C-alpha cells in the first residue's frame, strides 16, 4: 500500500439529520399491523485521536572533527553513514552507536552521501570535485567519477541504483556559467542538465526515475525531495517554512512552521514507519516533528548544542538520526520504543 495514499483526503464525517416520526394514526380493526419504525441511526463514530510520537535519545555518536553535512540509513536498516567537512565517510551501527569503519580517499570535505538500493554501495560527493562509489563492506573505492569541475554538493541514486544524479558548482562563478547536474551510469556521464544559475543544493529522483527535482542557491528553496509515492515534493527554505507541493498542479498543499531556518541548508524528510510525520532540523539546535496531515508540531527533540542540519529516518523502524555542526559535531539516534512495542505486540497477536 502506498504509504502516503489519501494524503489530501479532505472528506468529513456525514452530518446526517436526526430522523423524526409522527404518531401512528388510528388503525381500523382487523387492519394489518403497520410496519415497524426504522431503527434509530447509530451515532457517528467519535473522531480518532492521533497518537503522538514519543522519541527518546538512545545514542550519541562522536567522532567527526568538523561540521556534519549528511546522515543516511542504509535501505536494509542495518547501517548508518555520515559525512562532514572532513574528508572521511563514517559507517556506524545505529543500534549500538558503534563506529564500524571509516571510508578514506577523498582529499577535501564532503557534502552528501547516498546508498544504493541493495545497501552494498555508498556514493559520496566531495569538494575535491569528484564522486566516489564505495563498497561498504570492504571500505574500498569501487568507482571514482570525474566530470564536475568544481565542488560536488549533492547526489542521489534512483530507486534501482542504475542512475546517480549529482549537483555541483561547475565553472567560474564570476563568468556566471550555468551550474550543472550530472547523471551517471556505469561510471560515465550520460547527460548534462544546465538547470541553475548557482550551485545545486539538492537533487532527487522520483520513484519511476523519469523525473528529477533539483534546487539551488539561485532561489529561496534549499532542499527538495519527492514523497515516497512520488506524488508530492517536500521543500525547505530560508523563510523558516517546510512545504509540501502538488507539483502537477503547481500548488502548495501544506506548510510546516515553528522551527528556525534563515541561514543554513537544513534538511527535512518523511517518516512513515509508525505515523505520518515530517522531520526537520533547526537553527535553534532542536529537531521538530510535525503531523503530516494536521501540520501540528507533535514533538520537539532537544539535546544538540548547535544547528541541526542533517536528519534521516530509518526505513522500517521508528528511529531518527540527526547531525549537527561546529560546537556540537555529534550524531544522535532517537527511537520511539513505545510505538515499536505496540507494533511488535500487534504482530505477535495476529
For position 97, what pLDDT does the model report? 98
Over range 189-207, report the average pLDDT.
84
Taking 60 as the threshold, does the pLDDT of residue 24 lie above it?
no
pLDDT tens digits along 224-239: 999 999 999 999 999 9
pLDDT band at 44 (very low <50, low <70, confident <90, very high): low
Cα torsion at 201, 71, 77, 51 (round to 10°)? Answer: -90
Give the mean pLDDT of the chain.
84
DSSP 154: E
For position 194, what pLDDT does the model report? 77
Pairing of strands 277-280, 286-291: antiparallel
Taking 60 as the threshold, does the pLDDT of residue 51 lie above it?
yes
Rounded-to-integer distance, Cα 272 and Cα 293, Å = 12
pLDDT band at 5 (very low <50, low <70, confident <90, very high): low
Rounded-to-integer distance, Cα 222 and Cα 216, Å = 6
What is the pTM (predicted TM-score) of this model? 0.82
3-state DSSP of 242-297? EEEEECCCCEEEEEEECCCCCCCCCCEEEECCCCCEEEECCCCCEEEEEECCCCCE
Rounded-to-integer distance, Cα 215 and Cα 217, Å = 7
Q: How many CA atoms, within 13 angstroms, populate the side-chain half-sphere of residue 291? A: 12
The H or E element containing residue 116 is: none
Range with the poorest average pLDDT among 27-36, 104-113, 157-166: 27-36
For position 185, what pLDDT does the model report? 60
Cell numbers representing residue 256 in the block: 510546516
pLDDT tens digits along 68-114: 999 999 999 999 999 999 999 999 999 999 999 999 999 999 999 99
pLDDT tens digits along 242-301: 999 999 999 999 999 999 999 999 999 999 998 999 999 999 999 999 999 999 999 999
What domains are there in the chain, each with its CATH number? 67-172+180-219 (2.130.10.10)
pLDDT tens digits along 144-161: 988 888 899 999 999 999
Cα angle 257, 167, 178; round to 5 = 105
Amino acid at each position: 500500500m502506498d504509504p502516503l495514499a489519501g494524503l489530501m483526503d479532505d472528506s468529513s464525517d456525514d452530518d446526517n439529520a436526526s430522523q423524526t416520526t409522527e404518531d401512528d394514526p388510528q388503525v381500523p380493526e382487523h387492519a394489518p399491523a403497520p410496519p415497524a419504525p426504522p431503527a434509530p441511526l447509530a451515532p457517528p463514530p467519535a473522531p480518532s485521536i492521533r497518537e503522538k510520537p514519543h522519541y527518546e535519545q538512545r545514542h550519541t555518536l562522536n567522532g567527526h572533527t568538523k561540521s556534519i553535512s549528511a546522515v543516511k540509513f542504509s535501505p536494509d536498516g542495518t547501517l548508518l553513514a555520515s559525512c562532514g567537512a572532513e574528508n572521511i565517510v563514517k559507517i556506524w551501527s545505529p543500534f549500538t552507536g558503534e563506529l564500524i569503519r571509516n571510508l578514506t580517499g577523498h582529499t577535501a570535505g564532503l557534502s552528501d552521501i547516498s546508498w544504493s538500493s541493495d545497501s552494498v554501495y555508498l556514493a559520496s560527493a566531495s569538494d575535491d570535485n569528484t564522486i566516489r562509489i564505495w563498497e561498504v563492506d570492504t571500505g574500498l573505492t569501487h568507482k571514482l567519477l570525474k566530470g564536475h569541475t568544481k565542488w560536488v554538493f549533492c547526489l542521489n541514486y534512483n530507486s534501482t541504483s542504475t542512475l546517480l544524479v549529482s549537483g555541483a558548482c561547475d565553472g567560474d562563478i564570476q563568468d556566471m556559467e550555468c551550474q550543472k547536474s550530472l547523471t551517471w551510469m556505469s561510471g560515465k556521464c550520460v547527460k548534462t542538465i544546465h538547470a541553475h544559475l548557482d550551485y545545486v543544493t539538492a537533487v532527487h529522483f522520483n520513484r519511476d526515475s523519469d523525473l528529477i527535482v533539483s534546487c539551488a542557491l539561485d532561489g529561496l528553496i534549499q532542499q527538495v525531495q519527492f514523497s515516497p509515492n512520488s506524488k508530492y515534493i517536500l521543500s525547505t527554505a530560508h523563510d523558516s517554512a517546510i512545504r509540501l507541493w502538488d507539483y502537477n498542479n503547481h500548488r502548495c498543499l501544506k506548510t510546516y512552521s515553528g522551527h528556525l531556518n534563515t541561514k543554513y541548508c537544513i534538511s527535512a524528510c518523511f517518516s512513515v514507519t509508525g505515523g505520518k510525520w515530517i522531520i526537520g532540523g533547526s537553527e535553534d539546535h532542536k529537531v521538530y516533528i510535525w503531523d503530516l496531515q494536521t501540520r501540528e508540531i507533535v514533538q520537539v527533540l532537544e539535546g544538540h548544542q548547535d544547528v541541526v542540519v542533517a536528519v534521516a529516518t530509518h526505513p522500517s523502524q521508528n528511529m531518527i538520526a540527526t547531525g549537527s555542526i561546529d560546537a556540537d559535531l555529534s550524531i544522535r539516534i532517537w527511537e520511539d520504543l513505545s510505538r515499536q512495542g505496540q507494533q511488535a505486540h500487534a504482530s505477535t497477536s495476529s
